[in-house]
Structure 1
Amino acid sequence: MKKLLLYTMLFALSFANAQEKEDNEKLTIEKGTWYISGNLSINQNNYEAEDSNNDSESFGFNFSPKIGYTINDNLIIGLGVGYGYSKNKSTIMTGKGNSYQVFPYIKKHFPLGKKLTISLQGEFRYSYSDFSNNDTPTPYKRESNEYFIGIRPGITYFLNKNIALEANIGGLGYSKTNHEDNINLSNRDTSSFNFNINSTDLMFGLSYYW
């Protein structure tokens, strides 16, 4: 579903950009402009095992509102927060999780026409998440703290002067995560440097400028 939405949006934006190709005038988000946006990501998967009874299903969503201020033409600084929920259910267990994020960011738009821009968003993100499973004899709970610093690419298409559609996908950056659970009774740190552009990390949003 995400891939279909992505391809549809890219096709629509390419068509819109082609219509503006002969017009040299390009979009300017002027200094002093305020900006609010909300990004939403939803995932749902079902798995049916052919040779066992361990069928499973999962559902999750993530919502990230943010606000920003244009400090220079096409350059925005701001702050975002986020909340995510996930549920995994199988024939042997059910687990639920929550996540919370906060991220200051700076975003640069590169106009391709009067309505279309590509963008790069640099951000520092802190995330806290928990996961619990109470179906087993010994209830399991895990807590994680993650730090991310990096750049996320995006596309923005202005429907009119104030309202725009956004899509952000993947990112390039460094992350470090600390895990703690009640079974192993120990802290574990993991870190990685990743370049990731795929539809599993795709977020669509609606923005308002004034």
Structure 2
Amino acid sequence: MKKLLFLAVAGVLGSFGIANAQIQKGNLMLGADLGNSVAGSAGINTGLFGANFNLNKNAGWGIGINPKVGYFVKDNLLVGGIVTLGYNKAKGVDADHTTTYGIQALGRYYLSPGEHGIDNYLKHGRFFVEANAGFAGTNTSGSGGTTNGFAFGFGPGYSYFITPNVALEGLVKYNGLAGGGSAGYQNSLGINFGIQVFLPSSKVKSMIKDPSQL
């Protein structure tokens, strides 16, 4: 009985250890989310791997891809950048369609087990909060108008490590866009899914010097 209890405790601690090792100072994160991370004007958007519940008029569908890169400046804290590209279409055969784009700074903080009353309910995983801010725009055909200017987003997510270096993620985010153009302020609530790769910066430098390691 004692042996079984010891193995169970060791397994739990080991699962936390895998996540902890990848979000330490000096590591890099590379990957992408699928879903929209810029507010558009196409309505309730759903993509193959993500959904964008737009808070504006005219429900429709949409999908986007958001490549990300980040560096852990300290344990649990990542800073980096995100590029956003998306396409949305409102209801109806002849309805407007919207393209979204942007480049923004990115920040992410991983919660430690038990921090702020939040525990990990799945092994090999960590909760995090993410925020981004920078330049983005939406261009809509027909009567939809355009908005180009300051974009921002924030929300919670969860990383589940399927290997010591690769994590599947889910993220819920409020997205806002304010600036010049005829469409005015845009906002949406997005649900994104993605995959991220976590590597020590020394490993990345080594792979650049020797691509055969890829």
TM-score w.r.t. length of structure 1 = 0.64
- Aligned with 1:23: secondary structure? helix
Match runs of 1:48-63 below 5 Å:
58-63=60-65
| CA offset digits 1:168-199 (Å, max 9, x no partner) | 1024x875343327xxxxxxx5488xxx8xxx
Residues in 1 aligned to 2:160 and 2:112: alpha-carbon distance in whole angstroms: 10
Residues in 2 aligned to 1:206 and 1:157: alpha-carbon distance in whole angstroms: 9
Residues in 1 aligned to 2:133 and 2:27: alpha-carbon distance in whole angstroms: 23
Q: Go from structure 1 to structure 2 and tell me whether the alpha carbon gap of 1:67 and 1:175 turns closer, same or farther (over 3 Å shift).
A: same
Is the 2:137–2:177 Cα contact (8 Å) retained in structure 1? Answer: no
Identical-residue share of aligned pairs (%): 21
Residues in 1 aligned to 2:172 and 2:144: alpha-carbon distance in whole angstroms: 30
TM-score w.r.t. length of structure 2 = 0.63
Residues in 2 aligned to 1:86 and 1:174: alpha-carbon distance in whole angstroms: 16
Q: Verify: 1:64 aligned to 2:53, yes or no.
A: no
2:12 partner amino acid: D
Q: 1:119: how far off? A: 0.7
Residues in 2 aligned to 1:157 and 1:81: alpha-carbon distance in whole angstroms: 23
Give the equivalent residue in structure 2 for 1:117.
126
Q: Go from structure 1 to structure 2 and tell me whether the alpha carbon gap of 1:126 and 1:161 turns closer, same or farther (over 3 Å shift).
A: same
Name the one with the larger strand percent.
Answer: 1
Residues in 1 aligned to 2:88 and 2:152: alpha-carbon distance in whole angstroms: 24
Is the 2:125–2:159 Cα contact (8 Å) retained in structure 1? Answer: yes
Bigger relative CO (Cα 8 Å, ≥ 6 apart): 2
Is the 2:80–2:107 Cα contact (8 Å) retained in structure 1? Answer: yes
Give the equivalent residue in structure 2 for 1:144.
147
Give the RMSD, CA atoms, in angstroms.
3.2
Residues in 1 aligned to 2:64 and 2:9: alpha-carbon distance in whole angstroms: 34
Residues in 1 aligned to 2:185 and 2:137: alpha-carbon distance in whole angstroms: 15
Q: 1:39: how far off? A: 0.6
Residues in 2 aligned to 1:130 and 1:169: alpha-carbon distance in whole angstroms: 24
- Aligned with 1:170: secondary structure? strand
